[in-house]
Amino acid sequence: MTQTGKGMTSVSVALAGSGGAGVMTAGNMLLEAAAQAGYYGLMTRSSGPQIRGGEAAAMLRICTAPCDSVDDRYQVLAAVDWGNVARFAAELPLAEAGLVVGDPAQGEPPEVFLKSGARYAPVTLKAMAKKIPGGWPNMVALGLLGGLIGLPRAALCAAVEKSMKKGGDALAASLAAVQAGIDEAAKLGAGFPLAPAPAGSSRWLVTGNQAAGYGAIRGGVRFVAAYPITPATELLEWMSPALARVGGTLVQAEDELASINMILGGSYGGVPSLTATSGPGLSLMIEALGLGVAAEIPVVVVDVMRTGPSTGIATKTEQADLNIAMYGLHGDAPHLVLAPNSVADCLLTTQWATHLAESLQVPAIVLSDQFFGQARAVVERPAEVSFAGARERAAPNTVDYKRYALTPSGVSPMAIPGTPGITYTADGLEHGERGTPSSAAADHLAQMDKRARKLDSIDYGEHWAEIEGEGELAVITWGSCTGAVREAFARAKGDGVSGRLLSLRLMSPAQPEKLRRALKGVKRALVVEQSFGGQFLRYLRAEYDLTCELTSFRRPGPLPVRPDEIHRKILEWSRA
């Protein structure tokens, strides 16, 4: 939370309640209203283990500038009822000067939420809603939260209208309930009013899963086969109708073994192909990814990482699939691994991954995570990026065609079924240049060298990493820790500490020369990641020749990494 004379530049609020209370609906409307009013924001969600019903919480951060991370504490927690909401206590740290709003008819708020010193304000949400025929407590709560953070009434109403297109009595009742909430907020004191919204720009309201799906389609993906898995399912559910609109197809497979082999089949047929999954599914796909490497068939696998190992915590985030993505394949199997660094960047990174996979004829793994995938964010409209070049196809009737010809770049033109005069068999068996199986040492070495050479043959340009700031100190991070690190650095500046932020987007192939240049003059680096065992630290040590002193900041999921913990670490580390 940051206070200025004119109001807050960031405020975080949460709305909780049991299943059917409509907290997600109200949360989405609040985010939409904030966006309408010109603010940026981010909404994450949490729910209990029940398949349907059960307690849920919508957690929002509304800001005057783009934000890629959750904040440290919540200014307001409003609950329609308390049910089992206490189970979210660790996810909902409240500010000392925070406010807890609850309906006294639903009992007292759990003690854990008042420990911070937050003030309790009883508001009879249910009774207030009841006074309005057709009114609902969640709409009262929406008005209340909107009022407390100073969102204009018009923006709140617009958000409600947008979501209740049918209009009629139900809409009128909701608008009246929102108004009742706004009126009630005014009685609760000063609230947490936001500073004025920044000047309007072109913005999107999008989840990381949607952005990744759209990036894939922009990159040319027209065939998807996939098996449902949390938290990747929404990516697939978004792509299914979207693909149909642009002439593509999605098949629901019987398992992840089928998904990956189906997309290998589709891509072998010349159609850029993708699947999306999470850790357990990626584990099942590993064997066939090796086939993609050996037979040189491009595919994209988006792994929306969740807390592992095994089934782990399916609905929570972690950055612990780096090892399997980098090193899980048997044999020496060079392939691409990329990672987005923000919700919006899921678009660019997946589009780039598709482009690279296609041009290099190699599988690409995109390591998104649950935080990105399921967070809904108001972001600047992502730039239109066009990556030139695509899969190189062999011409019909090429004389003496060799599918796996040993070219200088390692990339050899691919024959696409339907093309006459150049038929071949794609094979996971080691092969010679024509694709004919071979166990000869010379063929093995030549083909291994070719497959490795492909990945080293191109300049990955500036997208390999995000690099910000100057100084002798650096924080090296990746993925969803990036936003929290950026914010921590901004705060550290106020303490007189500054340094460089490096967030790697291209994990494989590693770019040691580029990192060396980016770290020129850096004496010490802090490595920030969300994994128990320090997978990213080990990766850096294995792949890069780092001369600076490395310190590790790491912890596992399921809780998101917050700026404050990194800020404190940066201060302690920089002064050590």
Query: Under the criterion CB under 8 A, does residue 210 sit at the interface with another protein?
Result: yes
Query: Under the criterion CB under 8 A, does residue 428 sit at the interface with another protein?
Result: yes
Q: Of 82, 113, 268, 372, which lies in the binding site for another protein, with binding defined by CB under 8 A? A: 268
Q: Of 54, 161, 196, 204, which lies in the binding site for another protein, with binding defined by CB under 8 A? A: 204
Query: Under the criterion CB under 8 A, does residue 360 sit at the interface with another protein?
Result: no
Are the C-beta atoms of residues 18 and 54 closer than 8 Å to each other?
yes
**Nearest alpha-carbon partner for 178 in 163, 193, 166:** 163
Q: Of 311, 398, 423, 547, which lies in the binding site for another protein, with binding defined by CB under 8 A? A: 423
**Nearest alpha-carbon partner for 283 in 262, 263, 264, 311:** 311
Task: Work out how close the CB of 245 gets to another protein at its nearest, in angstroms, rounded to a whole number.
Answer: 4
State how far the Cα of 216 lies from the Cα of 232, in Å rounded to an integer.
14
Backbone angles phi, psi at 501, to 5 degrees: -110, 125
Query: Under the criterion CB under 8 A, does residue 236 sit at the interface with another protein?
Result: no
Nearby residues of 244 by Cβ (< 8 Å), 6 or more positions away: 250
Structure letter (DSSP) for residue 435: S
Query: Under the criterion CB under 8 A, does residue 228 sit at the interface with another protein?
Result: no
**Nearest alpha-carbon partner for 502 in 488, 485, 490:** 485
Task: Work out how close the CB of 278 gets to another protein at its nearest, in angstroms, rounded to a whole number.
Answer: 20
Query: Under the criterion CB under 8 A, does residue 247 sit at the interface with another protein?
Result: yes
Query: Under the criterion CB under 8 A, does residue 263 sit at the interface with another protein?
Result: yes
**Nearest alpha-carbon partner for 16 in 97, 95, 106, 135:** 106
Query: Under the criterion CB under 8 A, does residue 287 sit at the interface with another protein?
Result: yes
State how far the Cα of 520 lies from the Cα of 113, in Å rounded to an integer.
47
Q: Which stretch binds another protein (CB under 8 A): 95-103, 360-368, 419-427, 475-483?
A: 419-427
Which pair of structure tokens corresponds to residue 214?
Answer: 């759209």
Query: Under the criterion CB under 8 A, does residue 307 sit at the interface with another protein?
Result: no
Nearer Cβ to another protein (253/504): 253
Q: Which stretch binds another protein (CB under 8 A): 113-121, 254-262, 320-328, 507-515?
A: 254-262
Q: Give me the DSSP letters along 269-338.
A: TT--EEEEE-HHHHHHHHHHHHHHHHHT---EEEEEE-B-STT-BTTS-----HHHHHH-SSSS---EEE
Nearer Cβ to another protein (253/526): 253
Task: Work out how close the CB of 268 gets to another protein at its nearest, in angstroms, rounded to a whole number.
Answer: 6
Nearer Cβ to another protein (31/474): 31
Nearer Cβ to another protein (262/322): 262
**Nearest alpha-carbon partner for 498 in 477, 473, 522:** 473
Task: Work out how close the CB of 262 gets to another protein at its nearest, in angstroms, rounded to a whole number.
Answer: 3
The residues that touch another protein, with contacts defined as CB under 8 A, are 35-36, 202-206, 210, 214, 217-218, 222-223, 225, 241-242, 244-247, 249-251, 253-255, 257-271, 273, 287-288, 290-291, 295, 378, 381, 415, 417-429, 435-437
